[in-house]
Amino acid sequence: MSDPDVLDELFAVIEDRKETLPEGSYTTSLFTHEKGQNRALEKLGEEATEVILAAKDDATDELAAESADLVYHLLVVLSMNGLDLGDLREELEERR
């Protein structure tokens, strides 16, 4: 069974990388890329396309992997915009 706190832990790592900017970190590279937020948005779009293609091809392992990439890049974009998982949860709860 998976850890329900994995998203919280991942988001905490993203926030830490945003603050500390360790060298060699892919997350750091998204926060410091010369294209700025556009780079992270491009990656988000790329991963969304890969999720769609994996689903269309019934490639379940690939779908899971690409979905994880999509969620990761979404969390980076949320962080870049001053939002966090609490904001996302609140929006989803309002829609319930």
**Cβ atoms 77, 40 nearer than 8 A:** yes
User: pTM to 2 decimals?
Assistant: 0.92
Burial class (CB in 10 A: 0-12, 13-18, 19+), 93: exposed
pLDDT digits (tens, 9 = 90+) for 32-86: 999 989 999 999 999 999 999 999 999 999 999 999 999 999 999 999 999 999 9
Residue 66: phi and psi, rounded to 5, are -70, -35
Selection from 1, 6, 5 nearest residue 68 by Cα: 6
Q: How confident is the model at residue 1 (pLDDT cuts 50, 70, 90)?
A: low
Report all structural domains of the chain as residue ranges with CATH numbers, in order of start.
6-95 (1.10.287.1080)
